[in-house]
Amino acid sequence: SAVISQKPSRDICQRGTSLTIQCQVDSQVTMMFWYRQQPGQSLTLIATANQGSEATYESGFVIDKFPISRPNLTFSTLTVSNMSPEDSSIYLCSVGRTLQGDTQYFGPGTRLTVL
Amino acid sequence: AQKITQTQPGMFVQEKEAVTLDCTYDTSDPSYGLFWYKQPSSGEMIFLIYQGSYDQQNATEGRYSLNFQKARKSANLVISASQLGDSAMYFCAMREPRSNDYKLSFGAGTTVTVRA
């Protein structure tokens, strides 16, 4: 299985600021995804991080609020911009092994609290 | 429309007993994948088991087995010989390759509490 790390593991931020979350994988993967899990809720896909091109965002999520980079096949960042308390969530990076996609693994998550 | 339905918000199970977590899904695509994940209080998502729509046999991984009933569109997770460490939230998820982007849709989750 893929080994995925995320930084930071948790943070407490002030409203109006931005936080960049990093996701590092120990091997090259085709698919990388960013999910949000609000308190007591299930996971919601924010976007698919595409290597070398702009991310593909889901309905309700926009690039200005959640800019994503993916400079290579093992690394991606998600920025949560101009934060408000409603952004308090766990943010999870996920990777798929191949285009045929047998299993999707998740990073340990970043627990964000916005005051 | 809801693609994954988990109707049990919470369940209690006695240690060493088996527990079944329900999951039904909705898709018109003949090719799809079904996943179960465990999320302890730490927040990480731990992959448990996978079932492909064309797999002939039910998936098993140690104490986890998937009761796949394709005609009923159900993919229930069975945890045998429950342990205290099994206390967590469990999510069922589905991947449809239709759009070729392999996104996962998640159910609402079921909280399992194992009692000693």
pLDDT tens-digit map of A6-24: 999 999 999 999 999 999 9
Kind of pairing between the strands at A4-7 and A56-57: unpaired
Question: Is B91–A106 a contact, with Cβ atoms under 8 angstroms apart?
Answer: no
Contacts with B38 from chain A: Cβ below 8 Å: none
CA-to-CA distance for B36 and B81, rounded, in angstroms? 18
Question: Is B45–A101 a contact, with Cβ atoms under 8 angstroms apart?
Answer: no
Query: CA dist B86 to B11, B40, B67, B79, Å?
Result: 12, 8, 19, 9
Question: Is B35–A103 a contact, with Cβ atoms under 8 angstroms apart?
Answer: yes
pLDDT tens-digit map of A64-115: 999 999 999 899 999 999 999 999 999 999 998 654 456 788 999 999 999 9
Question: Is A31–B102 a contact, with Cβ atoms under 8 angstroms apart?
Answer: yes
What's residue A44's pLDDT? Answer: 94
A-B CB pairs within 8 A amount to 57
CA-to-CA distance for A46 and A51, rounded, in angstroms? 16
Q: Does B37 touch chain A (CB under 8 A)?
A: yes
| Locus of tokens 């302890």 | B40
Sign of CA dihedral B70, B75, B76, B81: positive
CA-nearest of B99, B75, B43 to A91 is B43
- pLDDT tens for each residue of chain B, 116 residues long: 569 999 999 999 999 999 999 999 999 888 889 999 999 999 999 999 999 999 999 999 999 999 999 999 999 999 999 999 999 999 999 987 766 567 889 999 999 999 99
CA-nearest of B82, B24, B80, B34 to B54 is B34
Instruction: Report the chain B residue with the minimal C-alpha distance to residue A34.
Output: B103
End-to-end CA distance of chain A: 36
Q: Are A33 and A94 in contact (CB under 8 A)?
A: yes
Mean confidence (pLDDT) of chain B: 92
Select the residue of B42, B50, B107 nearest A102 (Cβ to Cβ).
Answer: B50
Question: Is B45–A31 a contact, with Cβ atoms under 8 angstroms apart?
Answer: no
Sign of CA dihedral A70, A75, A81, A85: positive
Question: Is A103–B50 a contact, with Cβ atoms under 8 angstroms apart?
Answer: yes
Instruction: Report the chain A residue with the minimal C-alpha distance to residue B52.
Output: A102
Measure in Å the smallest separation between the Cα of A101 and chain B Cα atoms. Answer: 7
Chain A positions contacting chain B at CB under 8 Å are 1, 31, 33, 37, 42-45, 48, 56, 90, 92, 94, 96, 99, 101-109, 111
